[in-house]
Structure 1
């Protein structure tokens, strides 16, 4: 028994060594389960702090320039509306025919024949990501740009021919002359030729399109009726 007690007896040196080992173990556990967790929280809070500071600076700048942004927004909206107004709200065959009816009426140029082509899609406005640093705003639109190309044969005098070109290029709705041929007869003063003209439209959204109406008298009540001239 005395021998066993002697074996279990710990010297002062061993006690000090055990204390040191326990202290190191406690420090290690404190680091892994305490300091490491605290460090992760500090990193997370630091990231949030940086994000909030960026947002604060952005909002502060916006607030300082609030009136400028309001004025700029109103100006851009006006320019946007003016740009849309340059394009027709629809691209139907009656709209194309109405265009050439007006062309003949205004310029005096005779459109001898015309060939209508299917309307093609030029551009889809779609969705555009905002440049806002907060990244929470998007611009979405269902507007679509179209192009209608019409090939015509025409006849006019020289003055009417010049007015015809000017009229197409300055028409209220966007239109272009893509190709033009002309032949001038000096004896008669008549200009004849062909032209390829494109009409453009932006459709969709809240744009309201009204089909043109034509007040054109055609035919007769009875093709078999005869008129007896009076003496």
Structure 2
């Protein structure tokens, strides 16, 4: 961001009436190990999750988002490691990259659609019409608010060497905690629903990953607070040189 005029106000950042679909799936262990930093231990069986969100109102402005998570542990604690993210908003892209280190890119579109037959569909096109991601679920069973409890996320924040050296100037493991609170309806029920679902990743993207079997699908509305992240590890120069 410009040093004299930052793009965003200071955090924490607030989200209201976010609509999301979460697809959990069994994946390929070798594919997961290929993208996990060496400090992270893969949870077995290898499990991934895809989050598709429409953030109708945030203090960063409205935007939609898709990100992939891989279940892992770091020093015994369970996390979701996030290797790839797509967002439709400029503020969310800049803040996510510069503060958190998420590898955010811009797609052509991200959309959540509620159909007349009761299904909810999520679509992401990286390029126009490529259907890089398509997921559908039947939101049929009401779940308690605890069903939306999220994992802390980890991402690898990398600052390249401005002089063109092969090793990064800085690399850090960053922990982000997105604290979502499901909306509660007038009937006292949480706006969290589960049901059968499926997902196809047909076009090349940063979230394209092997899907062996969808194990869980959830649709929800929530409010949330995104606090500043925590640096859990800063890699030494020797470690950075060893990665080249």
TM range (shorter): under 0.3
Q: Which is higher, the Rg of structure 1 or of structure 2?
A: 1
What TM-score do the two structures reach when normalised by structure 2? Answer: 0.22
Query: Which structure has greater strand proportion?
Result: 2
Larger RCO (CA within 8 A; separation ≥ 6): 2
Name whichever structure is richer in helix by fraction: 1
TM-score, structure 1 as length reference: 0.22
